[in-house]
């Protein structure tokens, strides 16, 4: 970040730092006081503890081949501590995966150094209910972790949402399913600036009120909200007009603090107060949580893949259903088989390879 010297004040300032402010901070709109431009960029989400731990670090001591660490769901798992960018992509765990994952591994390992270190992923404003287009990045380390079945970061989940929209376009034409940005609704962002995600949801729900007033039939039935709670992924499905929030959690832990629930409840209360349609206005003040009996993971790193699988099932099997999700979703507690998880990995790998790597 380069400073700008103010001759009159005899000091350096950092105008680019505005990207760290909340999305609706008034300083983002000011041009004269800064560099003459509106600030529309957003800062990358800081790494979680598990992601930071998984990155290779220099050490004078002899590295251990395997180390028992806490995984993405606060469960112990075996994780290699000797991964480099290339070595992390040549791992026994990916040998049993499908052809798309193996092809992605081949591209990453055979490409010249640094060519795929950072891949830019455009994020269209229309998909994420934003005021402007944004972008995120997938690094070589992210791909190595994905192929090994390690913890998934927010960018990987965003790519899978784009994959669903691309691969199941006809389903979305008939459905009323929409996605909420997982980066804005992450616990990291909520704790840093709770006002930004609250305003984000309020604006989305207000747009639904406007559609109701205009008689627009294309109302959103379900908002899918992948939520990253520090070391764990789960999926919220907001049924706005019934006031229900269906919770898909593959590793329930009552000790885990849910920072997103207060944001969802507040935004929903504003929706009701502003005249939003809700047949259950007198039955409960806030939205009602409904825990779905869903597949439960065994290890400590599968939660991101389970969330992708939950979203795939909703989009493909319940996209045209207009009733309560808990009445149509088939309950199960058994973990997903490796073949079931491989389905979403293959989808992700094929989409990412053809959409972003082979076009660069």
Name the pairing type of β-strands 244-248 and 233-239.
antiparallel
Residue 264's closest CA among 192, 177, 194?
Answer: 194
Residue-wise pLDDT for 268-289, tens only, equals 988 888 888 776 555 556 788 9
Q: How far is CA 259 from the centre of its chain?
A: 15
Residue-wise pLDDT for 176-226, tens only, equals 889 999 999 999 999 999 999 999 999 999 999 998 888 887 888 889 999
Lowest mean pLDDT among 83-92, 258-267, 322-331: 83-92
The Cα 154–Cα 49 span in angstroms is 14
User: Does residue 114 register a pLDDT over 70?
Assistant: yes
pLDDT band of 72, cuts 50, 70, 90: low
The domain segmentation of the chain, as residue ranges, is 1-43, 121-357
H-assigned helices in 18-120: 49-54, 99-110
Q: Which residue has the higher pLDDT, 321 or 336?
A: 336
Residue-wise pLDDT for 287-314, tens only, equals 889 999 999 999 889 999 999 999 999 9
Mean pLDDT of the chain: 81
**Can you tell me the mean pLDDT for 86-111?**
74
- Return the SS3 of 220: coil
344 close to 146: Cβ distance less than 8 angstroms: no
The sign of the CA dihedral 103, 342, 95, 112 is positive
The Cα 72–Cα 68 span in angstroms is 13
Q: How far is CA 56 from the centre of its chain?
A: 24
Q: Determine how many CB atoms are found less than 10 A away from the CB of residue 19.
A: 14
User: Does residue 76 register a pLDDT over 80?
Assistant: no
- Return the SS3 of 5: strand
CATH superfamily of 121-357: Adenoviral Proteinase; Chain A (3.40.395.10)
User: Does residue 323 register a pLDDT over 60?
Assistant: yes
The Cα 338–Cα 356 span in angstroms is 26
The Cα 283–Cα 188 span in angstroms is 32
Angle at CA of residue 354, ends 352 and 357, nearest 5°: 70
Name the pairing type of β-strands 222-228 and 233-239.
antiparallel
């Amino acid at each position: 970040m380069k400073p700008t010297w103010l001759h009159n004040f005899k000091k350096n300032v950092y105008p680019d730092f505005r990207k760290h402010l909340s999305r609706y901070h008034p300083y983002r709109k000011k041009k004269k006081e800064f560099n003459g431009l509106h600030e529309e960029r957003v800062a990358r989400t800081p790494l979680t503890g598990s992601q930071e731990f998984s990155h290779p670090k220099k050490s004078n001591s002899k590295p251990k081949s395997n180390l028992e660490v806490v995984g993405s769901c606060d469960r112990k798992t075996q994780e290699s501590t000797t991964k480099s960018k290339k070595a992390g992509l040549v791992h026994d765990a990916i040998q049993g995966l499908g052809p798309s994952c193996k092809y992605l591994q081949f591209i990453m390992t055979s490409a010249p150094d640094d060519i795929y270190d950072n891949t830019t992923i455009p994020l269209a404003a229309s998909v994420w209910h934003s005021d402007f287009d944004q972008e995120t990045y997938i690094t070589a380390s992210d791909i190595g972790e994905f192929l090994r079945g390690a913890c998934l970061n927010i960018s990987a989940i965003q790519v899978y949402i784009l994959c669903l929209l691309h691969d199941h376009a006809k389903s979305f034409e008939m459905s009323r399913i929409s996605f909420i940005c997982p980066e804005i609704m992450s616990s990291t962002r909520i704790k840093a600036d709770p006002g930004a995600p609250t305003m984000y949801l309020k604006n989305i729900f207000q747009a639904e009120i406007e559609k109701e007033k205009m008689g627009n039939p294309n109302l959103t039935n379900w908002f899918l909200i992948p939520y990253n709670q520090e070391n764990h992924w789960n999926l919220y499905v907001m049924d706005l007009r019934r006031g229900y929030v269906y919770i898909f959690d593959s590793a329930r832990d009552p000790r885990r603090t849910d920072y997103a629930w207060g944001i969802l409840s507040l935004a929903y209360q504003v929706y009701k107060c502003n005249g939003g349609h809700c047949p259950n206005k007198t039955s409960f003040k806030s939205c009602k949580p409904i825990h779905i009996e869903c597949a439960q993971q065994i290890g400590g790193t599968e939660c991101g893949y389970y969330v992708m699988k939950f979203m795939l099932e909703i989009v493909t099997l319940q996209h045209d259903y207009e009733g309560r999700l808990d009445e149509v979703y088939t309950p199960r507690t058994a973990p997903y088989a490796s073949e079931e998880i491989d389905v979403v990995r293959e989808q992700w790998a094929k989409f990412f390879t053809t959409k972003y790597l082979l076009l660069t």
